[in-house]
Amino acid sequence: MNATSDPEPIEPSVEPSVRLIPLGGLGEIGLNMMLVESGDDLIAVDCGVMFPDDEMLGIDRVIPDFSYLLGKREAFRGVVLTHGHEDHIGALPYLLREVNAPIYGTPLTLAFVKDRLGEHGLADLADLRPIRPRDVVELGPFRVEAIRVTHSIADGIGLAIDTPVGTIVHTGDFKLDPSPIDHEYPDYTRFAELGERGVLCLCSDSTNVDRPGHTRSETEVGQALAPRFEKARGRIILATFASHIHRIQQVLDLASRFGRKVALLGMSMVGNVRIAAELGYLKIPDGILLPLEELAELPPSRQVILSTGSQGEEHSALALMAAKEHRSVQVEPGDLVILSARIIPGNERVIGRVINALFRLGAEVLWEDVAFVHVSGHASQEDLKLMLNLTRPRFFVPVHGEYRHLLMHARLAESVGLARDRIFVIEDSLGVELTKTSGRVLGRFPAGRVLVDGKGIGDVGNVVLRDRQLLAQDGMVVVALTVDRNTGDLLAGPEIASRGFVYVKESVELLEEVKATIRQALAERAPATPVDGELLGSLVKGAVRRFINQRFQRKPVVLPVIMEV
């Protein structure tokens, strides 16, 4: 097994070759983007975002570093999208500001892309080119074929990318659902045909590699929800991902079956339902949807609210309901609240708070840990083995997951007979170069996480994040004073303001001690030392930090403001 610790220098291969260069999605969940490069030409598979964790204070989203791609923009042939989730399409607005390239995807995927681009004023400028399963597009030396897969969003595809040295199969996010809601089955036949013909490399989704067995079918969720809808005596509030069109379809069908009406909550829910219905991916029963105001006039036993917020996101509809801050919906005793989605790792605490708040309001709450209300959209171990056996690749690169997922997937590939030296476990910035008969790990390519904060892209880095973390943990102390520009003598101050350190009005004596410490530090300064505002600032900062650390074992951010007159 070729691990990430042994990359070779980036040098041209003497044989014809193809390079796989992950800019995101290998080493984390989300941020999915992989470059495929042959000679001077390259394409991208997906272009997604990652949503910030608790340590990324104030950050709105994270996008890949496009610098390697932009350095070769003249040779960039386009982006091919596997499906319409944000972690696969969400960074496109930021890429298309820098380079004008065609974007290929299935109709629903491109509809979601156009909607996102519209928010950035780019919808009319983008070159969006629809493809369907079994369609083939020529992109420079690449011949890219779309292959139907199932996932937790409709219209998902994997890709067969013919290159000058062989075929690369990229699964995208996938599961092998034997009974999909839309009867669009995974194209087992095409994957098997590719395996018969010969697959140079398989890049396969690793998200659920730690789950044994097969991933259950989406139809089973509807079967499990049916008795919940039948027995509920009050209102049903169901939260799920707005992109999960098949889950939404089942909720609408169940509501119709049991004589209930449905109102949609959340801008993304309303928008995605509209898009999916217009394109024919969602079949809305006649008269089932009502505005929220009209739904409220019905008895609770006839109401269903289909909402966003299954991850407890701040300001989402469900979070506002739980906090009693939603302007139109108040959770009441007798309500049944169903979180029909997987809890994304890292969101457990936030979702736990929402669930507790809903229980306090008298609702009955069901979620994945206590009831069967969700199935994953990702392949489990036996499905992953089947994909390996169908395609029978010469080389294997696990994708889409944290390092532990990638490593477990590599071991799974070994268990079905793939030789260890033909498996490459890499993370972002490392690449794999393949010829018809050999493979090697290359590195390092420019890659990393670019932070988006408001309209700022990349202007917040690790130093700023560390400052924000310090401010959040220990607060800030601002020291203002005026000195003689010639002698350095203290003329006025020091005055102290504090935020997040102590409450100033209740800490007068403590702040006087801090002032005394500053005066003493200035008085002990060597008389011959030249007056320099930056040096005085460092002197004041050091004195204040030492005093506070010794007294409280805290390390607030200290900002000296020195005026010279």
Which residues belong to the active site? 205, 378
| 197 in the same domain as 109 | yes
Q: Is 42 among the domain residues?
A: yes
Q: Could you write out the three-class secondary structure of 118-175?
A: HHCCCCCCCCEEECCCCCEEEECCEEEEEEECECCCCCCEEEEEEECCEEEEECCCCE
What's the pLDDT score for residue 479?
A: 83
Q: Is 231 among the domain residues?
A: yes
| 552 in the same domain as 497 | yes
Q: Is 81 among the domain residues?
A: yes
CB atoms within 10 A of CB 326: 17
What's the pLDDT score for residue 101?
A: 94
531: DSSP letter: P
Pick the last residue of a domain from 333, 366, 399: 366
| 201 in the same domain as 227 | no
Q: Is 264 among the domain residues?
A: yes
Residue found under tokens 């070779």:
8
| 227 in the same domain as 207 | no
CA angle 212/216/222 to nearest 5° reads 150
Q: What is the CATH number of the domain that holds 553?
A: 3.10.20.580
| 186 in the same domain as 290 | no
Q: What's the gap between Cα 68 and its chain centre?
A: 21
Q: Is 462 among the domain residues?
A: no
What's the pLDDT score for residue 206?
A: 97
* Gyration radius of the chain over CA positions: 28
Q: Is 258 among the domain residues?
A: yes
**SS3 call for 326:** coil
| 389 in the same domain as 359 | no
Q: How does DSSP assign 374-398, residue by residue? A: ---SS--HHHHHHHHHHH-EEEEEE
What's the pLDDT score for residue 217?
A: 97
Q: Which pairing describes strands 364-366 and 449-453: parallel, antiparallel, or unpaired? A: unpaired
| 252 in the same domain as 181 | no
Size of the chain in residues: 565
| 337 in the same domain as 309 | yes
CB atoms within 10 A of CB 344: 15
Pick the last residue of a domain from 425, 457, 489: 457
| 231 in the same domain as 160 | no
Q: What is the CATH number of the domain that holds 24?
A: 3.60.15.10
What's the pLDDT score for residue 462?
A: 58
Q: Which pairing describes strands 136-139 and 142-148: parallel, antiparallel, or unpaired? A: antiparallel
| 73 in the same domain as 141 | yes
Low-confidence ranges of the chain (pLDDT < 50): 5
What's the pLDDT score for residue 303?
A: 97
The model's pLDDT over 470-487, given as tens digits with 9 standing for 90+, comes to 565 667 788 888 877 777
Q: Which domain holds residue 196?
A: 18-213+377-457
Dist CA 222 CA 227 (whole Å): 9
Pick the last residue of a domain from 366, 387, 413: 366
| 244 in the same domain as 168 | no
Dist CA 478 CA 486 (whole Å): 24
The model's pLDDT over 122-176, given as tens digits with 9 standing for 90+, comes to 998 899 999 999 999 999 999 999 999 999 999 999 999 999 999 999 999 999 9
Give the number of domains in the chain: 3
Q: Is 283 among the domain residues?
A: yes
Q: What is the CATH number of the domain that holds 230?
A: 3.40.50.10710
What's the pTM value of the predicted model, to 2 decimals?
0.82
| 177 in the same domain as 62 | yes
Q: Is 467 among the domain residues?
A: no
